[in-house]
Structure 1
């Protein structure tokens, strides 16, 4: 007992000692601190058990687990179902069944890994309705083969056609597929080297051009065992699958978020920037911006007369590309470049005039580079200065999905309408131009000229050829397909200034001889041409602004006397006997507050009708500063038109087409016994124009001679808002401003 007490006293005395006279800290405090440090170090260096690993993973925040996902335990005892949140959507287009087989294998493998799978046959898929609705909760895989001459399988033909047109159409958003995370595996045979895996490569490129985000590289399976990288197409697919799961796994489980293609990334280059091939775009299966075709300094188009001086004064940024300084001011440091460019343009013009004077040929309006660019955008170029393209409303009505505003306002059959122009050149550089000013510009015709017979036959053949491509497309109505092969209307409003074509009257007469009605649009810069124009079914003048300053700001005309030409064109329009139309394009922050001035312009031209439409957003461009903020909502357009109508005692709102964001003001002379007669009696028009032609213009007629009654659903205030009840309307899941254009 004494021994125990002595021991305790000794320990108590030892722990109460101070470290030193200068450091007044008991020894026991130092001992305790050292023990704590040792314990912390030991805890951090101690190996973690599998149970602790799983617990720490569970504590990390993750998105909610997808329902119906089977939990799968990995070798490290990690429950994958804790991470899975994305769906795997596998599309296939096949001819022999191989693509379907591969899609099934990938789906089966994904099912075993616990992912929710959706297997889709492209033959039954509707891209127009569903593709842009795919969100960030899905990873898409496209497995498609290449058929004869680089064409897609019949089951994927419509999908590829829609995708190609959407990717090249300026009226479609370039960020349409920004939420899509995708990859592509193509099936082909390298023995057909010219078309090897063309379809797979195209699908990958088209989706990427609309801001789709690649999950992994483009896979290319080769049926030729000799050239195949892995000894056959099955082995190629097996090797690609390994890469796919390695790349897609983190995305599917939410552990990795793909960067948008519009942002800056170490693995890619910014849109529009040249990286010199130093980026990793190729590694990710895509094309680098530095690989785009470079044709030296060849301009996209020829310019003429006043346009050369105007472009030089505005300080154009690129050779051959028409741009304009928004402020109209040239920096002093750029003055030398401007003068050099002006001298070059004038020297080229003098050289060309000398060549023509000596009996040489004029240059073609469309250069090889422009022809290539427009063809890529879906245009069919006719001869050296004309073009034709299929309107989206033509496709829509072929499938029973509704017609354009001309169907509502005037009764045309949209599926039988040919959209063309005999002149791709224009005298304006409008801020809302669909082509972003890649089309030719000029104030006079100084190019080679094709005969109207060539232009007419080329336009008709090209249009019918494009209609034929819709044979077998899901949803196309057989009766309308047959009717579409026989066009009944021609919209001379595709692009450019059709009235510039010196043989426009002969071309119009050819259309009428084939009983094709004519809707011709001019930009009001050629008053003499309007005066000399033969009767057309309906003649339009674009009235984009109501004052000299605002017209210069919006249309950016090339003529220096543009305002005088504009007013003279309106006066010439008032003297035409047939149907005439003012077409107003509303651009917020540009021309929506000029109602009084617009009313004065109406008194000059005295049009039969006034179409007011919200501007169509054509995507971002260095040539234009417009954004979606400049696009008015339909309610805003209606309000403007109502206020406008109050200033026009002879006009009333007759019709609207809500889908196109467009309304129609009509002169009251077309309101008979309280009912609107804005539609056109087309057989009657063709009879009248035939009599006019045979009498050399002596037997005249007016707009009232071929009017027809407007159906109730097309009248303003109707519940249908201009949508034909005989058609089937499809709505987007995420409604927003319509930018599709018409």
Structure 2
């Protein structure tokens, strides 16, 4: 025995392995089997593992997992990977049982993030909190409220102890003034140690305002496949307060603070559920001040929590993820039931119900059958849902652009506008009043022979797609990028604007100084300036409206803002077609016109091309409004390039007129932005030289110093060595009614009068110049 034990000790490892390998392998196999069985039992007891990868989905028992609960977030179980990691996702989730249970399979590429990135990292010893307060205001009430809120918040911050040392003073931003992409596609780009917190003070109106554009922006950002589903998750948090009118909307369902609720809902998605404090709501006629103060106290508590390093607080799964409202859960459920379902499963369910399945191609026919109006209305296919398997609008309610009960209606009528129908307006011009009293007409008389007291200023669309800094109607007219309102017939508009104009003319008969012969002449409209407010070619029946003008031998001067190329291309000839050219480059145009369209520069360029195509069919005009600090300095060469591109018949250069309202100053416009006439003439001379350098045949034809306006004209309108910028209106109507094609030269009028030519001032010697107090103005001899 001793010899055997001694021999075993002298065996090498290989000999030992061969001698005992079978028992060792069997033992290891038994141990691994026991471990696997134990893990399987634990898994069944606890449910699906939170660390399971998307590429290896678990089969989830619908009886053990409540999918309707807002706390059950399948996406939260997929956030264990790096930000840039993309897995091929195959998730099997239960659906509502319809007859036989059919699972819904979701496939595709899913970008997932670390759970840690759901909450913005905040170093309470180093980082700073920057509150940004956003508001929208139509008549100034919300602006005042937001300003007082910021003042109170900053006062609390300055008077508090060291706990608010890293809280920066709140900054105020008007949603109509900022570039939305700079704040609501990603947080502002600032210093690394500054973390942003959004506060929204949102009014609700029953008309289309900048708030509609803002909500569309949030929705488009959320649905844009090129942008992450939560692009604002780097924010520390957000909170929304809504201002409403309970007299106008007795309940939330009827619209009370509805736009604030929409903003709150979309920000919840864009921030990854970073609602830091519940939505606050207040009635402007009763408890708004009290409710806003309560909301501010709550926000201040949130700031203290963040500054102390506790983030948005505990109590909800996700360390601060607010529980979403029933409305948001319903929308998410609809998205799961609709958008994510593959076509095969959808058709299987439809077949099981015995219902038809319609293709996208059938939508147009269905909508035409169901629409009570034959008017062309833009259709947003994302706004349609399946109800009983027929396509119907999702609560689409066509409303009036300017209802009589709206604040816009009150504001515009107070400013002297007569609102015609639901979206048109007419107003008597100050130059009309001046001409009636023999105190001079506007530049249109000097340049084109239009007597101001025979001119009607109107628009068939009070809505505009720009928010120009120099606009006189800041915030008081509706805005929009597509026509989504009731469409009034052109016959009613034409009749209404004429009646409104004549009514205002009759109101002038008792004004001292009105000349009887001019008052009698004014009772027959001869000209129509479609440039009052808004965008005339926005109106779907603009061609029918101008045809009615021409039928009564009323000339048409139409001004558009170069943002609607399709409508501009479809426009029939008018007496004179204007396009506002307010900047020579993209960035300058964005700052001065503040367009609502994201592709504003491309639209602008297309309109220039269309104007070039129309230059031999009708008189085309570039309208340049000079605003110091915006579009004057170093832009002459750029404007010359634009003229070379479109070759308009005329270029009008006019200094901006400052209306002196608080809304203008809030848009960044002051008297410092108004150029002197000498500065305008200097710009015109430089532009004329730049055109000559390019070999373009233009010249300075006429001026109207009183309007701070100068006219550059193509040499096409120079005859026998004399400028002929006036219009032969009788000849225009004769050409129009002939049915034959004609050119602008065919209705070129007599030579421009000597007093209107460049260098002579442009004031009609038959009229009398007076100062602001009505006293005769002495003109010094030069």
Taking structure 2 as the reference length, the TM-score comes to 0.51
How far apart, CA to CA, are the structure 2 residues paired with 1:477 and 1:353? 60
Deviation, structure 1 residue 543: 0.3
What is the CA deviation profile of residues 553-601 of structure 1, one whole-angstrom value per residue up to 9, with x for unaligned ones?
Answer: 1111111111010000011011111000000010101111201111111
Query: 2:593 matched to 1:552?
Result: no
How far apart, CA to CA, are the structure 1 residues paired with 2:627 and 2:768? 30
How far apart, CA to CA, are the structure 2 residues paired with 1:527 and 1:678? 27
What is the CA deviation profile of residues 207-260 of structure 1, one whole-angstrom value per residue up to 9, with x for unaligned ones?
Answer: xxxxxxxxxxxxxxxxxxxxxxxxxxxxxxxxxxxxxxxxxxxxxxxxxxxxxx
2:627 maps to 587
Residue 395 and residue 272 in structure 1: after superposition, are their counterparts in 2 closer, same or farther (change >3 A)?
farther
Q: What SS does structure 2 have at the residue aligned with 1:679?
A: coil
Q: What are the within-5 Å matches in structure 2 for residues 465-614 of structure 1?
A: 465-576=503-614, 577-593=617-633, 594-614=635-655
How far apart, CA to CA, are the structure 1 residues paired with 2:421 and 2:208? 16
Residue 588 and residue 358 in structure 1: after superposition, are their counterparts in 2 closer, same or farther (change >3 A)?
closer
Q: What are the within-5 Å matches in structure 2 for residues 704-719 of structure 1?
A: 704-708=745-749, 709-718=751-760
Deviation, structure 1 residue 731: 2.5
2:582–2:592 CA contact under 8 A, matched in 1: yes
Q: What SS does structure 2 have at the residue aligned with 1:569?
A: helix
Residue 647 and residue 313 in structure 1: after superposition, are their counterparts in 2 closer, same or farther (change >3 A)?
farther
How far apart, CA to CA, are the structure 1 residues paired with 2:602 and 2:700? 30
2:68 maps to none
1:702 maps to 743
2:207–2:401 CA contact under 8 A, matched in 1: yes
Deviation, structure 1 residue 432: 0.9
Q: What are the within-5 Å matches in structure 2 for residues 621-632 of structure 1?
A: 621=663, 623-632=666-675
1:659 maps to 706
1:440 maps to 478
How far apart, CA to CA, are the structure 2 residues paired with 1:604 and 1:640? 20
1:544–1:583 CA contact under 8 A, matched in 2: yes
2:470–2:657 CA contact under 8 A, matched in 1: yes
Deviation, structure 1 residue 605: 1.3
Taking structure 1 as the reference length, the TM-score comes to 0.54
Match of 1:722 among 762, 773, 776: 762
Gaps of 5+ in 2: 1-140, 149-201, 222-231, 242-259, 268-326, 332-379, 386-390, 776-782
Root mean square deviation, CA, Å: 3.5
Gaps of 5+ in 1: 1-268, 277-295, 316-328, 693-698, 736-742
What is the CA deviation profile of residues 335-357 of structure 1, one whole-angstrom value per residue up to 9, with x for unaligned ones?
Answer: 54499654668999999978983
1:325 maps to none
Deviation, structure 1 residue 437: 2.4
How far apart, CA to CA, are the structure 2 residues paired with 1:304 and 1:474? 42
Residue 274 and residue 623 in structure 1: after superposition, are their counterparts in 2 closer, same or farther (change >3 A)?
closer
How far apart, CA to CA, are the structure 2 residues paired with 1:703 and 1:500? 25
Residue 330 and residue 438 in structure 1: after superposition, are their counterparts in 2 closer, same or farther (change >3 A)?
farther
How far apart, CA to CA, are the structure 2 residues paired with 1:727 and 1:524? 36
Q: What are the within-5 Å matches in structure 2 for residues 264-663 of structure 1?
A: 297-299=203-205, 301-303=207-209, 307-309=213-215, 332=235, 335-337=238-240, 341-342=262-263, 357=393, 361-367=397-403, 368-369=405-406, 370-576=408-614, 577-593=617-633, 594-619=635-660, 620-621=662-663, 623-649=666-692, 650-663=697-710
Q: How many residues align?
A: 427
How far apart, CA to CA, are the structure 1 residues paired with 2:593 and 2:753? 35
2:725 maps to 678
Residue 476 and residue 635 in structure 1: after superposition, are their counterparts in 2 closer, same or farther (change >3 A)?
same
1:670–1:678 CA contact under 8 A, matched in 2: yes
Deviation, structure 1 residue 330: 13
Deviation, structure 1 residue 447: 0.4
How far apart, CA to CA, are the structure 1 residues paired with 2:537 and 2:384? 23
2:383–2:394 CA contact under 8 A, matched in 1: no
Deviation, structure 1 residue 304: 8.5
1:305–1:444 CA contact under 8 A, matched in 2: no
2:219–2:266 CA contact under 8 A, matched in 1: no
Deviation, structure 1 residue 302: 1.1
Deviation, structure 1 residue 331: 11
Deviation, structure 1 residue 359: 9.6
How far apart, CA to CA, are the structure 1 residues paired with 2:384 and 2:534? 24
1:72 maps to none
